[in-house]
Amino acid sequence: MPARKLLVQITIYYLVIGMAVFVALKLWPGVRGYLPVGGVEQLISQPAKNPLQASEAVRAAHVANLGQSIFWLVAAIISAIMVSLPVSWVYMAVRAGDDYDQSLVNTIIVLPMIVTGIVIIVQNSLALAFSLAGIAGAVRFRNSLKSSGDALFILLSVGIGLAGGIGAIELAAVISIAFNYCFALLWITEYGERAGMKRFLADYDGIQERTTVVVVEEKSS
């Protein structure tokens, strides 16, 4: 069934990526200092500070030159894309018919990469942050979402990008895993479903599709 295939697909993906990262850190333990990981530990453990002061979480332990900085940035962006990829699979599985939006699928993958770069740019400059807000306010985004549920996917993409930008890819991975399995289970159980309701998730049991086919066949006969 589509739901079983989705669960198997995302489970294998997460296991393969997790195993690859684990093996890489075991073989080259020193590379951890050059990767965008560990930021969540600092966010949770560091004491309260001035809200206008840059967070210490946005840093890498051993990055000291241009080459290492580029490596850190590339790793952060690639990690953000890899974390957001299974989110797009979930969207493509649970949305169907006229409600499906290909541009949103592309946004789910590309937006975390953009947000990661933006966070790195504005992390230590309040002036740059306000400049970015002014630029964003000057640009008019008129593409409205088809459902409020689609906003959850956009919000998750922003969260993944923020986590990547502050060097907390492990946080992005945990959020992605929880989000994907939660949506998959909501789809499988059809939680909150009622007769005649407006649907957000695709019909899991196929009753609606079978009914439509029967009605069309009766009309044609």
Residue-wise pLDDT tens digits, 151-193: 888 889 888 988 888 888 888 999 999 999 998 888 887 776 6
Q: Check: CB of residue 203 under 8 Å from CB of residue 217.
A: no
**What's the rounded mean pLDDT across residues 41-48?**
64
pLDDT classification of 92: cutoffs 50, 70, 90: confident
Residue 205 or 83, more confident: 83
CA 94 to chain centre: 16
Enumerate residues 6+ apart whose C-beta is below 8 A from 175: 156, 159, 160, 163
Query: Residues with Cβ < 8 Å from 67, sequence gap 6 or more?
Result: none
Residue 207 lies in a domain: yes
Residue partners of 38: CB distance under 8 A and separation at least 6: 32, 61, 167, 168, 170
Q: Which amino acid is at 167?
A: G
pLDDT at 219: 47
Q: How many CA atoms lie within 13 A of 155 on its CB side?
A: 7
Q: How many domains does the chain have?
A: 1
Classify residue 72: in a domain, yes or no: yes
Mean pLDDT of 23-45: 77
> Please, what is the average pLDDT of the chain?
75
Q: Which domain holds residue 52?
A: 2-216
Is the pLDDT at 220 greater than 80? The verdict is no
Q: Is residue 141 assigned to a domain? A: yes
**By C-alpha distance, which of 91, 98, 80, 82 is closest to 152?**
91
Domain annotation covers residue 167: yes
One-letter identity of residue 214? V
H-assigned helices in the chain: 2-27, 39-45, 66-94, 102-122, 126-138, 150-165, 169-189, 207-220
Is 221 contained in some domain?
Answer: no
Would you place residue 84 in the very low, low, confident or very high pLDDT band (cuts 50, 70, 90)? very high
Return the percentage of the chain with pLDDT > 90, whole number. 15
Task: Give the amino acid at 43.
Answer: L
> Could you tell me if residue 81 is inside a domain?
yes
Q: Is residue 93 part of a domain?
A: yes
Query: Which candidate, 108, 130, 120, places its Cα nearest to that of 58?
Result: 120
**96 assigned to some structural domain:** yes
